[in-house]
Amino acid sequence: MVQVEWGGNMAFEVSPPSGVQFTLDSQPEFGGQAKGPTPGETLLGALAACTAMDVISILRKKQQTVTRYRLEVDGEKPPEGEYPRPLINIRVKHILSGQDLDPVAVARAIELSDEKYCSVMATLRSAPEITTTWEIVQEERGERRSPVPAP
């Protein structure tokens, strides 16, 4: 389970099972302080890293020597003023360098990641059902907590 705790303003501290915590925030024009990537940036980054890890793993098994690997991931949203604004198009571009890379092996590694191995890709493509619940925890009278200041 991933836990997310409000850190004030628009910052949220994320605690995943790995124990490696990180901060998500919003840009200043949306009330944040840019203390970390935005949730949308993180989603695209997770997609890129997931597929890249697969591709590297597959190419290593195919004895391909990759010396440099970059991905460019871009997401398109509906125009400003329309809500919600989900990503309606995601483009992933793989850019690889190496010694005598076999284009067939590279294409196959990317295809396997896209269609079989990358769980982030599979999740985005499947549009999973999301269930939301909520609760209010009443503070005891006399209990003093420092309120998180508004921006």
Taking the model in full, what pTM does it have?
0.87
Residues 48, 61: contact at Cβ < 8 Å?
no
Residue 57 has pLDDT above 90, yes or no: yes
Residue 66 resides in a domain: yes
Residue 146 has pLDDT above 90, yes or no: no
Three-state DSSP at 30 gives helix
Kindly state whether residues 48 and 14 are assigned to the same domain. no
Give the pLDDT of residue 145: 64
Residue 151 has pLDDT above 60, yes or no: no
How does residue 147 score in pLDDT terms, banded at 50, 70 and 90?
low
Residue 3 resides in a domain: yes
Task: Give the residue-averaged pLDDT of 50-61.
Answer: 98
Cα–Cα separations (whole angstroms), residue 116 to 80, 81, 113, 119, 124: 35, 36, 6, 8, 13
Give the pLDDT of residue 34: 95
pLDDT tens digit sequence for 22-51: 999 999 999 999 999 999 999 999 999 999
Residue 144 has pLDDT above 80, yes or no: no
Kindly state whether residues 60 and 6 are assigned to the same domain. no
Give the pLDDT of residue 149: 61
Kindly state whether residues 60 and 30 are assigned to the same domain. no
pLDDT tens digit sequence for 67-119: 999 999 999 999 988 889 899 999 999 999 999 999 999 999 999 999 999 99
Residues 110, 55: contact at Cβ < 8 Å?
yes
Domain that holds residue 18: 1-36
